Amino acid sequence: MQSGTATLVEEKIVVEKKIVLLTPRGFCAGVVRAIDVVKIALETFGAPIYVRKEIVHNKHVVDELRGLGAIFVDELDEAPAGARVIFSAHGVAPAVRQQAKALSLNVIDATCPLVTKVHLEAVKFARKGYTVILIGHENHDEVIGTLGEAPDSMVLVQTVEDVDGLCVADETKVAYLTQTTLSLDETSDIIARLRERFPLIEGPHSQDICYATENRQVAVKAVVPMTDLLLVVGSRNSSNSQRLVEVCRKEGRPAYLVDDEMDVQEAWFEGVNTISITAGASAPEHLVERLIDFLRANGYGTLETLEVREEDVRFSLPPELSAARLTQISPTI
């Protein structure tokens, strides 16, 4: 190089493209239990086994179980008299149980124990003469079942504005319950407004929103400062998956719900260097793995994990299934 001559050297900056995988994610204890119930029932009793509604809200799970011999029906009268029928994790109203009995169906109840907790609370308050305000989403399977526990005593609210239009028979005897898969922030706003309107209102001893819903939302909030985009693996009719998208967007980051990698759009990658991944409580892990492989093939070569909380919750099988398995494996005396 000649003296006095300036040379400009252009340095190319390579930006790392990475994936941040959130933990906890995916299956909760209630979903694991419900899927196990169907599989064990098929192994124990053989196909066909009928399932009322989707056992959990994920189309991949439902398709897998259908392939193993499960038959999914919307109404109990679609199953032949005397058939074995499983109730989904979302729970059912007493009227459904009565119908099953009238049709001589052999029922295995896969209702999540945390949903059962809400049902028992509804019955308790209704028997004490309370107006029970259920916070939840209209027409969701869980909400339909809970409302059915005390239809003459319960009223559904979905927003803060709904609270303002409430009329109750006795403002000194009001209680609230919630769907288990709601947004923590939105639900707290509704509860705050309920307490303003009804200062003597009572609630559950512990929150009805389940541990898995809370943990996944907390993880999403934790990753927001370090991500450009969140992808949530889950089906469209999965309430808890939808809430994860909403939580992220409320925190100011783009987020999308995908059933699997086939739903991902190339336009989402523009200007995005860090993509975070989580999964709703009914989404299987193999779909997460497929999404990671897809992103790696599209230039996101680094994988990091962010563990926010540990989960070690387990639920036992329904007694009717446990008893049947015990009978099957016990030696004849």
Catalytic site residues? 142
The kind and range of the H/E element at 301 are none
Q: Which residues contact 260 (CB under 8 A, 6 or more apart)?
A: 60, 233, 287, 290, 291
Of 100, 99, 68, 98, give the one whose Cα is nearest residue 86. 100
Angle (CA) 198-200-201 rounded to 5° is 70
- Sheet containing 229-233: order of strands: 255-258, 229-233, 274-279, 18-23, 302-307
Of 42, 21, 17, give the one whose Cα is nearest residue 287. 21
Of 246, 231, 217, 236, give the one whose Cα is nearest residue 278. 231
Say what angle helices 59-68 and 29-45 make with each other, to 10 degrees. Answer: 10
CA 173 to chain CA centroid, Å, is: 31
Concatenate the DSSP letters of all residues of 169-212 into one string.
Answer: S-TTSEEEEE-TT--HHHHHHHHHHHHHH-TT-B--SS-SS-HH
Residue 136 per-residue DSSP state: S
